[in-house]
């Protein structure tokens, strides 16, 4: 049996009839209007043996318990399914973590929205598997300079756009394009009160216009802080970034010949990180953060690796700094990958994942200076634990 792919999407924009606390910048930033809808977009794979769903949702992040609940429910109707539920990390969607409510000790998450969200994720995955078709695949990596900058360490940049395009076997017409880029969706800044997925909205729209197919976006190793390099924080700038990335994707993919899609290999691994984060522990103690999986002062999370011939995608449970992202891509290429990508904030949001040697927790986490990322991290061992976990997958033979 040849590998089949399917696609479905569903809006997940919250209603403004209830207060919506926007996540990612300051607390008590309430949505006033909707600029563009938020979506969950799902790419399904089935090769006769394995079933995998890559789901990208326009949200700041989701804890591991959410991904586990969705996967558990889906497995009741889709046998053996593996779900990768990743967030684009938009800073203009509802608080789904708990840190951006109206006050310091008040959660910003709407439980009614979260319940509806899980239902929509599950239903969208199911629909994606109801529309499976055979496809060929072409993929590429292309450098796109001038779009993102690293505020923490300007000398370390990952400017690589990863593109996977699934096409019709006969006509080679584009069916679905997956784009993956390491940059925070925060072109529009904290003054904004409009719900939006930021530059990924414009990127996807332009790719869909160019190809007449569908498009889904995954954030890459955007920690550190990989942020848009713009002259002003406006939707016009977000549209320009989307257009630049879409054009780069088109030019790069058009140089590639589609290859047959016979099978894929997906593996994942669970690992533990010692919880050494005073702010995160406090947030958990006060009931702000509730969806992390923690036992005996250890955060239990996971990472994974998808291999489709020489095209490899790793997924990580938070915001990997670009230095580690570049190391991870190099490890995949050394093991035989020709095209690589990293899906960030996947199946968990554990915050920033730093190299241990760069980790320096500030004396006052409320005034962190150059070390903000450490205050929003599980702890100094997150980086080495994650890299070891994924390397174990890279070293395994295809199943």
Supply the pLDDT for residue 150.
96
Q: What is the DSSP string of 175-208?
A: EEEEEEE-S-S-SS-TT--EE---HHHHHHHHHH
Decide: residue 21, CB within 10 A, 0-12 exposed, 13-18 middle, 19+ buried.
Answer: buried
Whole-model pTM: value is 0.97
- Which helix (DSSP H) or strand (DSSP E) does residue 23 occupy? none
Q: Is residue 226 part of a domain?
A: yes
Among 140, 142, 217, smallest CA distance to 184 is for 217
Supply the pLDDT for residue 397.
87
Which residues constitute the domain of residue 337? 265-320+328-394
Helices (H), 52-110: 64-75
Q: Is residue 241 part of a domain?
A: yes
**Same domain (yes/no): 169, 188:** yes
Supply the pLDDT for residue 1.
63
**Same domain (yes/no): 198, 213:** yes
Domain total for the chain? 3
Q: Is residue 97 part of a domain?
A: yes
- What are 143's two structure tokens? 């450098």
Q: Is residue 69 part of a domain?
A: yes
**Same domain (yes/no): 273, 389:** yes
**Same domain (yes/no): 149, 238:** yes
**Same domain (yes/no): 90, 210:** no
**Same domain (yes/no): 89, 116:** yes
Supply the pLDDT for residue 193.
97
- Nearest-10 crossing angle of helices 322-334, 382-394: 20
In order along its 399 residues, the chain shows pLDDT tens digits of 689 999 999 999 999 999 999 999 999 999 999 999 999 999 999 999 999 999 999 999 999 999 999 999 999 999 999 999 999 999 999 999 999 999 999 999 999 999 999 999 999 999 999 999 999 999 999 999 999 999 999 999 999 999 999 999 999 999 999 999 999 999 999 999 999 999 999 999 999 999 999 999 999 999 989 999 999 999 999 999 999 999 999 999 999 999 988 899 999 999 999 999 999 999 999 999 999 999 999 999 999 999 999 999 999 999 999 999 999 999 999 999 999 999 999 999 999 999 999 999 999 998 999 899 999 999 999 999 999 999 999 999 886
Cβ atoms of 222 and 323 within 8 Å: the answer is no
Helices (H), the chain: 64-75, 111-129, 199-211, 235-253, 278-285, 322-334, 372-375, 382-394
**Same domain (yes/no): 69, 174:** no
Beta-bridge partners for 7: 43
């Amino acid at each position: 049996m040849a590998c089949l792919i399917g696609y479905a999407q569903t809006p997940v924009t919250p209603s403004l009839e209830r207060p919506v606390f926007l996540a990612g910048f300051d607390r008590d930033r309430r949505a006033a209007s909707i600029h563009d809808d938020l979506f969950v977009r799902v790419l399904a794979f089935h090769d006769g043996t394995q079933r995998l769903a890559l789901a990208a949702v326009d949200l700041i992040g989701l804890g591991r318990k959410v991904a586990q609940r969705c996967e558990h429910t889906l497995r009741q109707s889709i046998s053996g399914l593996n779900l990768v539920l990743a967030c684009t990390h938009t800073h203009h969607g509802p608080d789904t973590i708990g840190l951006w409510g109206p006050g310091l000790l008040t959660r910003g998450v709407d439980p009614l929205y979260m319940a509806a969200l899980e239902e929509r994720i599950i239903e969208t995955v199911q629909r994606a598997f109801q529309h499976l078709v055979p496809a060929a695949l072409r993929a590429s990596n292309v450098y796109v300079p001038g779009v993102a900058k690293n505020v923490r360490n300007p000398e370390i940049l990952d400017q690589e756009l990863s593109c996977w395009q699934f096409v019709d076997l006969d006509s080679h017409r584009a069916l679905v394009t997956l784009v993956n880029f390491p940059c925070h969706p925060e072109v529009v800044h904290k003054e904004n009160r409009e719900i939006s997925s930021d530059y990924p909205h414009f990127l996807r729209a332009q790719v869909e216009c160019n190809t007449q197919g569908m498009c889904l976006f995954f954030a890459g190793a955007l920690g550190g802080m990989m942020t848009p390099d713009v002259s002003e924080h406006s939707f016009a700038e977000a549209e320009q970034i989307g257009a630049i990335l879409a054009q780069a994707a088109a030019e790069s993919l058009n140089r590639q010949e589609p290859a047959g899609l016979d099978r894929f290999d997906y593996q994942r691994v669970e690992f533990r990180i010692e919880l050494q984060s005073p702010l995160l522990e406090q947030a958990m103690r006060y009931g702000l953060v509730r969806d992390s999986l923690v036992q005996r002062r250890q955060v239990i999370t996971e990472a994974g690796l998808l291999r489709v011939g020489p095209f490899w995608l790793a997924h990580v449970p938070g915001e990997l700094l670009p230095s580690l992202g570049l190391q991870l891509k190099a490890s995949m290429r050394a093991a035989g990958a020709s095209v690589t990508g990293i899906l960030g904030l996947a199946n968990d949001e554990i915050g920033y994942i730093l190299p241990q040697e760069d980790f320096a927790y500030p004396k006052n986490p409320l005034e962190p200076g150059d070390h903000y990322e450490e205050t929003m991290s599980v702890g100094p061992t997150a980086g080495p634990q994650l890299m070891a976990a994924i390397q174990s997958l890279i070293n395994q033979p295809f199943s």
